[in-house]
Amino acid sequence: MALVFLCFQVFLCRIVDVSLGTVRTILTVKGKIGTASAIGIIEIFVWFVIVQAAISRGGTSLWVALFYAGGFGAGTYIGGKLANRLMKGILDIQIVTSTKNEELVSAIRNAGFGVSVLNVNSSVYGEEKYMLVIEIKSGNLKRLKKIVYDHDPAAFIMVRETIFIQNGFFK
């Protein structure tokens, strides 16, 4: 019974420490070093405590190793989901339309998004087009993509994270 309890303890602690590691990595990349450092302390403390318990009480049990590995996999999945929910930011969307599509521009604006429209001269790939530049909150990406594909299924969409924004309008 003690081995079963240890296996579940190892599994749950690995979920916690790996999830924290995922969030810590994302915060580091986004430049939030102080918060990432604090999370790192907690992450490694949890890792140290559970590794010590696994080695001292689990010995050479294959079950402990399997639950350790399973916790790592589950922690990676949960950490990714958690990061997607917590790390909302602003996205820079650039859309190259397949034609000069006024309907699409109107639909984007009617949905409440600000959009800058640039003319793209004809090229070897076809007629004149628009490049649309839009700044949105990441939670609105799915809705914007639907609007674009409903009006121009052949549109080319590029999405990047925005580091800094000054003035302008975004939703």
**What would the pLDDT profile of 60-85 be if each residue is shown by its tens digit?**
889 999 999 999 999 999 998 888 77
Q: What contacts 24+ positions apart, CB below 8 Å, involve 49-57?
A: 49/13, 50/9, 50/10, 50/13, 50/14, 50/17, 53/6, 53/9, 53/10, 54/6, 54/10, 57/2, 57/6
Q: End of a domain among 35, 61, 86? A: 86
Tell me, what's the pLDDT at 171? 57
With 80 as the cut, is the pLDDT of residue 106 above it?
Answer: yes
158, amino acid identity:
M
Looking at the domain assignment, is residue 167 inside a domain?
Answer: no
Looking at the domain assignment, is residue 151 inside a domain?
Answer: yes
Domain residue limits at 82: 2-86
Looking at the domain assignment, is residue 6 inside a domain?
Answer: yes
Supply the pTM of this predicted model.
Answer: 0.64
Do 36 and 102 lie in a common domain?
no
With 70 as the cut, is the pLDDT of residue 33 above it?
Answer: yes
Q: Give the containing element (helix H, strand E) for 70.
A: helix 62-86
Task: Give the count of domains, the chain.
Answer: 2
